[in-house]
Structure 1
Amino acid sequence: MEWLVSLLGGGLVMFGLRDLFHTLWHPTRHGGLSRLVMTALWRLTRRFRAGRRVVGLVGPLSMVTVVAMWAGTVIIGWAVVYWPHMPESFAFSPGSEAAQEPALLDSLYLSLVTVATLGLGDIAPGEAWLRLISPLEALVGFALLTATVSWVLEIYPALTRRRVLAIRLALLRDSDPTTAQLDSTAGALLLDSLATEVVRVRIDFTQYAEAYYFHDGEDHSSLAAMVGYAAALAERGQAARRPEVRLAGDLLTGALADLAAILDQRFLHTGGPPAEVFAAYATDHGRDRVQP
């Protein structure tokens, strides 16, 4: 029975590590627990029509919540591993009153101290197998800290690329290029560069799906609000006289269709054409409509 409880704790640890792996390092990055938490918090704020300040906190708070759940799963899992063997399989420092505490409390304390790599030493494993797995928990704790920092450093550059594209589209809309300006070599280069940026954002939504749950602020920095203008530019490019401009317009149209497919497949589930998907994207991010 003791080993069955320890195996249950080991399974809990593996569940947390699996979710961490699929969220951060798996090619499809489909973390079960993390995706569920972020989706639930996002839908909760949308359902109750929370203000922009509250919605803007969903992304950061979701990441904090997910990291806390990873840490809690690892700590509790390892505590369950220790619990059936506490206190007879552990050595206590002289004068310590830890042995007088409940076994579960001592197990949680030892797990927390170990995963935090504090190494206080007032409770030490006595049996050989416990002396092997206890340092392993410290390695997991160090990996969890490193993974959290890496996650933050990956998400924010993806957000920057998305917002840069939105601001660029807003500036283009305000400058309102004429048909002659767009139907030129410079126009072809412009549409081609926009297609490249759209592809980058599409990859970001694939690799860093958590970035979807970050609110972009004002309309000029929100891709949800500005993506419609990119579609309008693509249509103008496809109707141009110069073949290179038409080609660039086709590239931008294809990139936008690919982006819409990813958004619909992973987040929106409308099953409609790109225009309908982008409208749903704008609504989901608190925009009344996509900017034409």
Structure 2
Amino acid sequence: MKWLVSLAGAGLVVLTLRDLFHTLWHPTRHGGLSRLVMTALWRLARRFRAQRRVVGLVGPLAMVTVVGMWALTVVLGWAVVYWPHMPGAFTFSPGSQAAQEPALLDSVYLSLVMVATLGLGDITPDEGWLRLVSPLEALVGFTLLTATVSWVLEIYPALTRRRVLAVRLALLRDSDPTPRQIDCTAGALLLDGLATEVVRVRIDFTQYAEAYYFHDGEDHSSLAATVGYAATLARRGQAARRPEVRLAGDVLTGALKDLAAVLDQRFLHTGGTATEVFAAYAADHGRSPARS
């Protein structure tokens, strides 16, 4: 019976590590826990009237919540591993009151000490397999810490790329270049550059799906509010006389369709055209789509 309880605790730890791996390192970046928490918080925040103030907290709050849940399940999982063998398989330092505490409390305490890599030494394992398992928990704790730091360092550059594209589209929307102004070499370079940035953002939504749940603030930095104008520029490029401009317009159109497909498949589920997906994207972020 003791080994069944310990195996249940080990299974909880493995499930947590699997979710961490799928969230941070798997090619599809499709972690179950992180996606569930962020989707739930996003939908909850959308119900509040003070939408922009509340929704702006969803992304950071969801990341903190997910990391906290990872840490909690790792600590509890290892505590369950120790629990059936406490106190018989452990040595307590002289004068320690730990042995007089409930076994579950001692197990949680030891798990916290090990996952935080403190190594206080007032409770130490005696049995050989526990002497191997305890340092392994410290290694998992260090991995959790470094994974959290890398997650933060990865997500914010992705947000910056998205906001740079949004501001660039907002500036172009304000200047509103005519079809004649786009029908030149500079216009082809402009459309090609936009296509490259759209592809980068599309990859970011695939690799960092949690970035979708971060609010972009003002309209000029909100891709949800400006991405529709990129389709307008693409259509103007496709109608140009110069072949290089038409080609750039086709490339931008393809990049936008690819971005819309990712947004619809992973977040919106409208089953509509690219224009309808971008309109749904704007509505989901509390924005009005860019004018055509």
Q: Give the TM-score, by structure 2 length.
A: 0.99
2:224 equivalent in structure 1: 224
Give 3-state SS (helix, strand or coil) of 1:229's partner.
helix
Give 3-state SS (helix, strand or coil) of 1:124's partner.
strand
2:102 paired with 1:102: yes
| TM-aligned CA deviation for residue 180 of structure 1 | 2.3
| TM-aligned CA deviation for residue 265 of structure 1 | 0.2
Number of residue pairs the alignment of both structures matches: 292
Deviations 1:261-287 (A, max 9, x none): 000000000000000000000000011
Contact 1:225 1:291 in 2 (8 A): no
1:57 equivalent in structure 2: 57
1:193 equivalent in structure 2: 193
Q: List runs of 5+ in structure 1 lacking aligned partners.
A: none
1:215 equivalent in structure 2: 215
Query: Which amino acid counterpart does residue 98 of structure 2 have in structure 1?
Result: A
- Distance in 2 (CA, whole Å) between partners of 1:168 and 1:139 is 44
Deviations 1:208-249 (A, max 9, x none): 000000000111100000001100000000000111000000
Structure 1 runs, 4 residues or longer, greater than 4 Å off: none
More moved, 230-239 vs 175-184: 175-184
- Distance in 2 (CA, whole Å) between partners of 1:35 and 1:179 is 42
1:278 equivalent in structure 2: 278
**What are the equivalent positions in structure 2 for 1:145-224 lying under 5 Å apart?**
145-224=145-224
1:36 equivalent in structure 2: 36
Give 3-state SS (helix, strand or coil) of 1:121's partner.
coil
Q: List runs of 5+ in structure 2 lacking aligned partners.
A: none
2:12 equivalent in structure 1: 12
| TM-aligned CA deviation for residue 173 of structure 1 | 1.2
Contact 1:80 1:107 in 2 (8 A): yes
Contact 1:278 1:290 in 2 (8 A): no
Query: Which amino acid counterpart does residue 180 of structure 2 have in structure 1?
Result: A
Aligned-residue sequence identity (percent) comes to 85
2:88 equivalent in structure 1: 88
| TM-aligned CA deviation for residue 44 of structure 1 | 0.7
Give 3-state SS (helix, strand or coil) of 1:201's partner.
helix
Query: Which amino acid counterpart does residue 257 of structure 1 have in structure 2?
Result: K
- Distance in 2 (CA, whole Å) between partners of 1:165 and 1:198 is 8
| TM-aligned CA deviation for residue 288 of structure 1 | 3.0
- Distance in 2 (CA, whole Å) between partners of 1:182 and 1:172 is 11
Q: Give the TM-score, by structure 1 length.
A: 0.99
- Distance in 2 (CA, whole Å) between partners of 1:94 and 1:210 is 49
| TM-aligned CA deviation for residue 120 of structure 1 | 0.6
**What are the equivalent positions in structure 2 for 1:115-134 lying under 5 Å apart?**
115-134=115-134
Contact 2:226 2:289 in 1 (8 A): no
**What are the equivalent positions in structure 2 for 1:218-257 lying under 5 Å apart?**
218-257=218-257
- Distance in 1 (CA, whole Å) between partners of 2:278 and 2:162 is 15
